[in-house]
Amino acid sequence: MTYPADYRYTKEHEWVMLEGDEALIGITHHAQDQLGDVVFVELPQPASKISAGESFGTVESVKAVSDIYAPLSGEVVETNDDLVDQPEKLNESPHEAGWLVKVRIADKAEFEKLMSADDYTKYVAAETES
């Protein structure tokens, strides 16, 4: 799997795409693959504050319910409402149509601290070997 080079990634398998002072956040291809078929997504309401490292929602699959952790702090400006009726978009297109939330970020330095695509690819490879 090749991960988008302009995104940044977390050890909890979330991705971030920065657009000015806003960021799209989603879960990675690896995360959706580990979860299996996604059947339900719970996301925060717009105007909610999220904090880096804290859970801001859940993804339920046929295998488990998993927390989604905020890679950045900020305010939710939009949620992907398509996932309410079509949670399978997380499986079909985790890095495009399956985005979760758009956030107005509080501190751009948090983005710089996240893993690059190369680092994330190595992290996933090491994780799957163990």
- Taking the C-alpha atoms of residue 126 and residue 130, their distance in angstroms, rounded to an integer, is 7
Q: How confident is the model at residue 129 (pLDDT cuts 50, 70, 90)?
A: confident
In the predicted structure, residue 130 carries a pLDDT above the cut 80: no
- Per residue in 54-95, pLDDT (tens digit) is 999 999 999 999 999 999 999 999 999 999 999 999 999 999
3 in a structural domain? no
Q: What is the mean pLDDT of residues 42-62?
A: 97
49 in a structural domain? yes
- Taking the C-alpha atoms of residue 124 and residue 89, their distance in angstroms, rounded to an integer, is 22
2 in a structural domain? no
Which pLDDT score is estimated for 128? 85
119 in a structural domain? yes
Which pLDDT score is estimated for 126? 95
Contact call for residues 62 and 91 (beta carbons, < 8 A): no
- Taking the C-alpha atoms of residue 60 and residue 35, their distance in angstroms, rounded to an integer, is 8
pLDDT mean across residues, the chain: 96
53 in a structural domain? yes
Domain range for 78 is 8-129
CATH for 58: 2.40.50.100
Rounded to a whole number of angstroms, the CA Rg of the chain reads 14
1 in a structural domain? no
111 in a structural domain? yes
Q: What is the mean pLDDT of residues 4-21?
A: 97
108 in a structural domain? yes
Number of domains into which the chain is organized:
1
Quick check: helix, strand or coil at residue 98?
A: coil
